[in-house]
Amino acid sequence: MPEQQQPIYKRWPKAIWEQFCEEFSIFFSMAVSNLVLVDGVQIDSLDHVSHFGVCSTAGNVQTKTVNISQYNLVTGARVTVKFENDNTAANPILNVSNTGARPIIYKGSSIPTDALSANSVREFVFDGTNYLLIGDLILNS
């Protein structure tokens, strides 16, 4: 029976093997930690993407705030928000992860006061200037 040869890497001098391991680990870490933006959320290739947050801002406060991990305000960024309180403020605006308060718009105008009710979930897309409310409104009036 012929003698089995060792794999080539086992025959490399120690210095070459260590250099290969170092370069491979650098390459692998770059490949695995490829940061990208998906709908405004910065993710690593191994992260889960979430565009969801909860807004507990009081109803009479115009600026509704929500935090979403790794959120970036870029055109096309999407966000889904659950509102814990009925909105009573005129012309509510949205500030996601301290990226700046922007008007909430529906069909070209500010949303009606009662468009954000307690326990409602709304989806928005940032158009470069405003947060556009997605879908149809079912108002409380």
- Let me know if residue 4 belongs to a domain: no
Cα(28)–Cα(89) distance, rounded to whole angstroms? 51
**Cβ distance 119 to 82 under 8 Å?**
yes
Q: What is the mean pLDDT of the chain?
A: 83
- Let me know if residue 126 belongs to a domain: yes
- Let me know if residue 64 belongs to a domain: yes
- Let me know if residue 43 belongs to a domain: yes
- Let me know if residue 47 belongs to a domain: yes
- Let me know if residue 52 belongs to a domain: yes
- pTM, entire model: 0.68
Span 46-66, mean pLDDT?
Answer: 88
- Let me know if residue 138 belongs to a domain: no
pLDDT in tens, 73-106: 989 999 999 999 999 999 999 999 999 999 999 9
Q: What angle do CA 100, 106, 111 make, to 5 degrees?
A: 75
- Let me know if residue 58 belongs to a domain: yes
Domain that holds residue 129: 38-133
Count of domains for the chain: 1
pLDDT in tens, 23-44: 777 665 555 556 666 666 666 6
- Burial status of residue 124 (CB atoms within 10 A of its CB: 0-12, 13-18, 19 or more): buried
